[in-house]
Amino acid sequence: MQGKVYGYIRVSSIDQNEDRQTRELRRKGLSDQQIYMDKQSGKDFNRPEYEKMLKKLQAGDLLYILSIDRLGRNYAEIQDQWRILTKDIGVDICVLDMPLLDTRINKDLMGTFIADIVLQILSFVAQSERENIRIRQAQGIAAAKARGIHMGRPPTPLPKNYRRVFQKWKDGKITGTAAARACGMPLATFLYKAKKFEEQHKKQKPSS
């Protein structure tokens, strides 16, 4: 009896290609009900949808993924997940951007041997590429900062009454809690901005 067909998509902050992955899986005839997708940040590798899919997979099922690095962040994770899927569970995997990694074909000893070699090479390349992307990102941020370019969200402007409220707080006329409330911000934010405000004011003050 022919097994069920599934597709898996993983989208990270490094590689936002959800549309492409979805499009390629639908070309294989998969519906939304057959596709599992996880969205994650670069620092986080929690995959609730992947774990949910693993519980449904059975021997003889077929899993489509766009590229080999959807299975893990690094060489070891990719190898481990491939073993779990193909050996422990017994599913077939078809990697769409690498036709050699289709376990439905060449199931003889030579075919398995070639697939294993290709898997090792590609998973190593995937890890290396991700590490190179992080390095280039870090270098780009460092270069931008060196040129005085601010990275990230622009700072929220201070409320119009901040200087007056700050001075009343500094003179001990009101508490920090009251000052924060008057500026419409949490106490921790007010104190943080007060420290920055004071440092900036000192820099701008001419030396005698």
Q: Indicate which residues carry an active-site annotation.
A: 12
Question: CA 68, CA 130: separation in Å to the nearest integer?
Answer: 12
Q: What is the 3-state secondary structure (H, E, C) of 51-112?
A: HHHHHHCCCCCEEEECCHHHHCCCHHHHHHHHHHHHHHHCCEEEECCCCCCECCCCCCHHHH
Contact by Cβ (8 Å): 57, 6: yes
Question: CA 169, CA 171: separation in Å to the nearest integer?
Answer: 5
